[in-house]
Structure 1
Amino acid sequence: MTNLKPTRNINKCKRKNYHHQFKCVPKEILTEILARVASSSVTDLINAKACCKEFREAASEDYVFEHATIDSFPVIPWKINHGASSFLERCKKSGNPEALFRQGMIDYFSTLKYDSGLKFLEKAASKGHAEAIYVYGMILLCYGGDLRNNGVKLLSDLKRSKSSLFITECRKKVKRIVWSMWVNNYIIGIGPAEEEEYTNRRPCTHHNTKALCSFTASQTKNRTGWTSSLEDFEDDPLSCDSCLWELEATLFCKMLRTGSYRP
């Protein structure tokens, strides 16, 4: 886990030199510099803060915490010191997308704070956090109605802007987080009882054509279960987004129950 204490010994003479070098630099520029440092390494940020008063003051801005990487911190902070806990809390309050996403996952799927969880996930998604968009879209899709349509749009926009490999990485990260916590909420909406209904449903008409979309056609030919990956539909113009994400939602809910995306 990241050490929140300086790892370099900086003597008073060097600190004095740093102070003179950055004294005339506008604070906005120093804040931008430290935000970029924080986005790649919290350790480097801590070391930078120890250099001089100007860096220390600039590093206290919300903008720096908003852009800080927290990948080295555990998702479920069972055993972390007060300094690390305070740092993560400051990141969340500053609107750090990863911090918001993690809190949303914990609230919605573990502590059963549904409204709070959705708000955190929605906020992280609005900041472009890919995994938050994926999970938030899955939840909306499972709710049905107009929320389902919003979920399909969110997920389809994500799919168009990213590669299938990226979506696969989203899956892996979400699964790791689910494995790290006690899951109490498996989402009501798509589960074992609904799978037969999806498999035996009427042909897809989203394309307004006589032809079945590839998703429906594949399910007509193979009634034994679901196709296991998005890649099968990545470059297929005959597969509609609505059917594709219904498939993914089913796999997502299975993952919550079993820890696996396999059908």
Structure 2
Amino acid sequence: MYRPTGPANLPHDVWTLIAGRTAAQSVRDLCSLRMSCTAARNAGDEDFVYRCANIPIWDQRWWSVSPMHHPGRNFLARCRQSGHVEVLFRYAVSDLFLGGCRFAGMETMHVVAAQGHSAAQYIVAMMLMLRDDAESKNKGLQTFCWLEAAGALTNCKLVFRGVVQGTWRHLRRVPRLNEENQVCSLHACPSRGNMGAIYRHQRYGRGWDVNDGDGGAGHISCVHCRADYELILFVHLFD
């Protein structure tokens, strides 16, 4: 008689896809699946599965794992090793703003941004524009213009603020905004140097929200000045 193939005899690639879909729904369900049989346990240890793991960026329970809680800490480390985009993003933020290695953090942020992570692209743009060399500012400005045209700035700021104002609040290393960080260098520009006043009016005059970043200086025709306004907003997202 014809006997259908049992689950344990499914190809490894099929088990990997099943484990990946399970991980994308629930890490708890993935753990249960891996305990069901040897084939599931082996498939669940693939990098692809760890990259699919559903780890909500807003859920601070994931990011405040006690050093004594080895399973949770090891799971995040394994996700990072596999290239999990959200985990890499969180580690990059930690290195950049929480006392880690800034160079490593920026390198990781570039990697995440290259994978289409808009919040990472936003941070890369802001950090580049905060530098005092023209080449970095121009690269950051190009990314900023792309995010602005795509209407992605508000969501990027919401994601980033949700990260830095979580459990890491008391550990922040806030970037500084000095006069040499200004993007607009055209002395004939009528709006140059006025972004601070516009920001203060937006925040204290009529009630401030991160959404104002898309409209607060939206009427300013100079893209360099709008970038200066967004730099002010970026620094104050740490408040």
TM-score in same-fold range (> 0.5)? yes
Q: 1:63 maps to which residue?
A: 48
Is residue 230 of structure 2 the alignment partner of residue 255 of structure 1? Answer: no
Shift of 1:62: 0.9
**CA distance, structure 1, for counterparts of residue 163 and residue 201 of structure 2:** 20
Q: 1:147 maps to which residue?
A: 136
**CA distance, structure 2, for counterparts of residue 133 and residue 178 of structure 1:** 23
Contact 1:187–1:253 (8 Å) recurs in 2:
yes
Seq. identity, %: 24
Matched to 1:44, the amino acid is D
Determine helix, strand or coil for the equivalent of 1:172. Answer: helix
Q: 1:231 maps to which residue?
A: 214
**CA distance, structure 1, for counterparts of residue 33 and residue 66 of structure 2:** 28
Contact 2:183–2:224 (8 Å) recurs in 1:
no
Is residue 168 of structure 2 the alignment partner of residue 182 of structure 1? Answer: no
The answer to which of 170-179 and 112-121 deviates more is 170-179
The answer to which of 149-158 and 81-90 deviates more is 149-158
Q: 1:11 maps to which residue?
A: none
Is residue 89 of structure 2 the alignment partner of residue 89 of structure 1? Answer: no
C-alpha change, 1:131 and 1:58, in structure 2 (3 Å) is: same
Q: 1:36 maps to which residue?
A: 21
**Which of the numbers 98, 102, 106 marks the counterpart of 1:110?**
98
Q: 2:161 maps to which residue?
A: 172
Shift of 1:57: 1.0
**1:55-113 per-position Cα deviation (integer Å, ceiling 9, x unaligned):** 21111001111221222443344455111111111111111111111111111211241
Shift of 1:178: 7.6
Query: How does the TM-score come out when normalised to structure 1?
Result: 0.70
Matched to 1:230, the amino acid is G
Contact 1:35–1:63 (8 Å) recurs in 2:
yes
**Which of the numbers 112, 133, 136 marks the counterpart of 2:121?**
133
**CA distance, structure 2, for counterparts of residue 159 and residue 30 of structure 1:** 42
Contact 1:75–1:177 (8 Å) recurs in 2:
no
The answer to which of 172-181 and 95-104 deviates more is 172-181
**CA distance, structure 1, for counterparts of residue 174 and residue 157 of structure 2:** 21
RMSD: 3.5
**CA distance, structure 1, for counterparts of residue 63 and residue 119 of structure 2:** 14
**1:6-52 per-position Cα deviation (integer Å, ceiling 9, x unaligned):** xxxxxxxxxxxxx922513x322322332232223211211221222
**Which of the numbers 108, 133, 137 marks the counterpart of 1:120?**
108
Matched to 1:69, the amino acid is N
**Structure 1: which 5+ runs fail to align?**
1-18, 205-211
Matched to 1:182, the amino acid is L
Determine helix, strand or coil for the equivalent of 2:224. Answer: helix
**Structure 2: which 5+ runs fail to align?**
204-211
C-alpha change, 1:140 and 1:164, in structure 2 (3 Å) is: closer
C-alpha change, 1:67 and 1:223, in structure 2 (3 Å) is: closer
Is residue 65 of structure 2 the alignment partner of residue 52 of structure 1? Answer: no
**CA distance, structure 1, for counterparts of residue 111 and residue 16 of structure 2:** 23
